[in-house]
Amino acid sequence: MENFRKIIQHNREWAAAMKAADPDYFEKRAAKQEPQFLYIGCSDSRVPANVVTGTEPGELFVHRNIANVVLPSDLNAMSVLQYAVEVLDVKHVIVTGHYNCGGVKAAMGTASYGLVDLWLQPIRNVVRWNRPELMQIEDEQARFDRVVELNVLEQLYHLSETPIVQNAWAKGKRPLLHGLVYDIHEGLLREIATGVDCQEAADALAQRRQSGVPAGPPPILGRMSTPVLAGDELADQIAQRVMERLSRPGASGGPSK
């Protein structure tokens, strides 16, 4: 009970400090919320959404689960997404993973963890689809980090395919979709992909998430930007990798979504 009582005490101290700085702090936020962002992140206790983004109450609408997975079959996530996009009219949806993610690490292994194995299956698919690239990374930690990044790209692509986002884009509305990874060693958010705001950008993201393109300066993918894959040479390299993958025995045009 001692630890629990600390939570209550800390709440009292925090509320008092907020009121001391601004007597109307809570009243101004009680009437309504107008967040600009929907944050979809991992449930890991080391990555508190408002803390790592430096946002105040009312600025960030939040959904969290194990390993920041986005599935159209997840009624919880889809309900949050629909409310955020259609009611709150958020301008940005951010999928945020983090290095040293326990869910990603579990998905990279062969051990069984019971019910959570069903949840981790999409991440196991990411590992399987990108195995040629991952096997070229000799350092175990670097390979782990890369799967975290690829998982963010995969979940961002899932997000772009949802009817909620597709309908919003069809009406000419945002949201912009972004993918970030939080570095728990440094406390910094690293951009993986930014500005996905149309089907063409989502298609480019689909290539990126499966083509073995190494993590680097994040592409800005949307209509207001330059193409995600700048330069004919790089585009040709990626097209060649995709063709090689499709030509392998047993290939069926890539994983179905």
Q: Which of 42, 145, 146, 209 is catalytic?
A: 42
Whose structure tokens read 């609408």?
61
- d(CA 21, CA 184) in angstroms, rounded, equals 30
Q: Which of 10, 12, 22, 46 is catalytic?
A: 46
State in Å, rounded, how far the first CA of the chain is from the last one: 47
| Residue 101 annotated to the active site | yes
The one-character DSSP state at 185 is T
| Residue 208 annotated to the active site | no
| Residue 44 annotated to the active site | yes
| Residue 46 annotated to the active site | yes
Q: Which of 63, 92, 101, 178 is catalytic?
A: 101
| Residue 198 annotated to the active site | no
DSSP string for residues in 108-159: HS----TTHHHHHHHHHHHHHHTHHHHHT--SHHHHHHHHHHHHHHHHHHHH
- d(CA 41, CA 125) in angstroms, rounded, equals 19
The one-character DSSP state at 192 is E
- d(CA 57, CA 38) in angstroms, rounded, equals 13
Q: Which of 98, 158, 178, 208 is catalytic?
A: 98
Q: Write out the H or E segment, with its range, that includes residue 95.
A: strand 92-98
CA distances from 164 to 72, 79, 80, 82, 155 (A): 10, 10, 11, 6, 15
Q: Which two tokens stand for residue 45?
A: 């206790």
Q: Which two tokens stand for residue 155?
A: 């979940």
Annotated catalytic residues are 42, 44, 46, 98, 101
